[in-house]
Structure 1
């Protein structure tokens, strides 16, 4: 299976998502189409399996960052997080090819929505470890909004430039720093009773 997914990623990077057919991937992996069907019965299954691997790698990085935040003091958490994920975009060519191509399955889109929720939880854990506010539903919602905004801006930055449009990434940092300052301020202000 690992060999087949490596072959699928090579095809994805070299030829694009449209080339991810079972016949093409089987040829690249040097396995029979029948053998491939046992694990990945169609193009959608190949796409889903590749996406799951990318999501797992991104979430592992977020878990590491959340652990580091508990023992370190970061001057610029927003800059550190965006730079870390920009670095992944630069090295994970298959992830970019999959996301920027057409043909994502509905299952992959649903998995992406869940992935973004897990990433938002990672951001929440980072902020709590760094002492930004207190944990409640509002913090979770704000982290989810921040992840959605950062993801959209990162995708656009890497559509514009294979290394990431640095000016757009800098704008994303400015925007998200302001948002972080605002949500931190909102969380630290005492709540007023409603009239």
Structure 2
């Protein structure tokens, strides 16, 4: 990316309460339009109108559509990071496999069931910046390492098991609620079924130790 291009995507940080409210209104409007109309219908003039601000005010904080999308993705990632952080702190050496699996699955279900229409567009339509992609990978690797640390007290090859458990849970929940319509089962029912499957997997590994 050229220096000129980098300057174009720099987002001005709001400092005053009124500025923060303006940015919040813009991002809320942008997220709703993105979820409803997709990337093709993601228009800054429409966003400004819905947010109740001038197009000049929008561009004051977000110089282009990419900056808006990255800000929306940033907010979504922040929720995921908070959920994973809370899950990690609950893992202690005495955590039982059932509890570990429950925390993992419930965290992933909670993240994906929140605004699935927006999640669908973010994951399949919009161009995500390298910075956001890196954060996604860091979130995944951090969660896997935390899970592996909790499992090492119960099974061998805990790193492989942790990655398998995380990726299966993430892919299954994403498919269920983001790519499909999610009507076959409630989030709670899906979580219950995934936990059951993973408990059998871990029980099998423990028996072979």
TM-score higher than 0.5 here?
A: yes
Q: Quick check: 1:47–1:104 contact (8 Å CA) kept in 2? A: yes
Greater CA deviation, 11-20 or 152-161? Answer: 11-20
Greater CA deviation, 163-172 or 37-46? Answer: 163-172
1:161 maps onto 2:193 in alignment: no
2:143 alignment counterpart: 122
1:90 maps onto 2:109 in alignment: no
Query: Quick one: which of 70, 76, 84 aligns to 1:62?
Result: 84
Deviation at 1:64, TM superposition (A): 0.6
Deviation at 1:105, TM superposition (A): 1.1
User: Which segments of 5 or more consecutive residues in structure 2 lack a partner in the other structure?
Assistant: 1-22
Deviation at 1:59, TM superposition (A): 0.9
SS at match of 2:129: helix
In the comparison of the two structures, how many residue pairs are matched? 183
* CA offsets 1:11-59 (integer angstroms, 9 cap, x no match): 2233334322211211111112122122222222211111111011111
> 1:9 and 1:153, CA in 2 relative to 1: closer, same or farther beyond 3 A?
same
Q: Quick check: 1:22–1:41 contact (8 Å CA) kept in 2? A: no
Deviation at 1:69, TM superposition (A): 1.9
2:104 alignment counterpart: 81
For residues 114 and 139 of structure 1, the distance between their equivalents in structure 2, rounded to whole angstroms, comes to 24
For residues 29 and 183 of structure 1, the distance between their equivalents in structure 2, rounded to whole angstroms, comes to 53
Q: Quick check: 2:144–2:162 contact (8 Å CA) kept in 1? A: yes
For residues 170 and 45 of structure 2, the distance between their equivalents in structure 1, rounded to whole angstroms, comes to 33
Deviation at 1:132, TM superposition (A): 3.4
Q: Quick check: 2:101–2:195 contact (8 Å CA) kept in 1? A: yes
For residues 66 and 72 of structure 1, the distance between their equivalents in structure 2, rounded to whole angstroms, comes to 14
Q: Quick check: 2:93–2:153 contact (8 Å CA) kept in 1? A: no
For residues 164 and 18 of structure 1, the distance between their equivalents in structure 2, rounded to whole angstroms, comes to 29
> 1:71 and 1:82, CA in 2 relative to 1: closer, same or farther beyond 3 A?
same
> 1:183 and 1:20, CA in 2 relative to 1: closer, same or farther beyond 3 A?
farther
User: Which segments of 5 or more consecutive residues in structure 1 lack a partner in the other structure?
Assistant: 190-195
* CA offsets 1:63-106 (integer angstroms, 9 cap, x no match): 01111223873534223321232123223345424335x43214
1:152 maps onto 2:174 in alignment: no
1:29 alignment counterpart: 51
**TM-score (normalizing by structure 2):** 0.66
